[in-house]
Amino acid sequence: MKVEQYIFGKMKINGESYTSDLIIYPDRINTSWWREKGHLVQIKDLDGILKHKPDILIIGTGYMGLMKVEQKVKEELSNLNIKFYIERSKKAVEIFNNIQTDKKVVAAFHLTC
């Protein structure tokens, strides 16, 4: 799966446009990713992702990078041996599109701010 386009508030994947925060799994897209505290990612916000047991997690923090990721999340991902990238969404899209691996990759994107 590749992201064809990302602009503030909109992402296009495989010809379909999305306007809400989403998670891209290897076999599907979850279009209802929401965090309990909106612009703060806590470990409980990643429960569904962690159940999927990714090898790599890419988190897009928004167009301007206003969504933050708690330090506890980074520590837990490290403890679980999950390689992670946390970048503004435009850069996260580049990483997602260019990553070449046979490992399980999941990406979570905040599309606005």
CATH for 26: 3.40.1230.10
Full-model pTM: 0.97
Find all residues with CB under 8 Å of 14, minimum gap 6, and list them: 1, 2, 4
Per-chain mean pLDDT for the chain: 97
Find all residues with CB under 8 Å of 32, minimum gap 6, and list them: 20, 22
**Helix (H/G/I), strand (E/B), else coil: 89:** helix
- Write out pLDDT tens, residues 68-85: 999 999 999 999 999 999
Rounded average pLDDT over 54-63:
98
Residue among 23, 25, 21 at smallest CA distance from 10: 21
Q: Are 8 and 15 in contact (CB under 8 A)?
A: no
Q: What is the DSSP letter of 23?
A: E
Q: How many percent of the chain have pLDDT more than 70?
A: 100
**Domain region containing 101:** 3-109
Domain count, the chain: 1
**pLDDT band per the 50, 70, 90 thresholds, residue 6:** very high
Cα separation, 42 vs 27, whole angstroms? 24
Amino acid at 12: K
**Helix (H/G/I), strand (E/B), else coil: 32:** coil
pLDDT value at position 43? 97
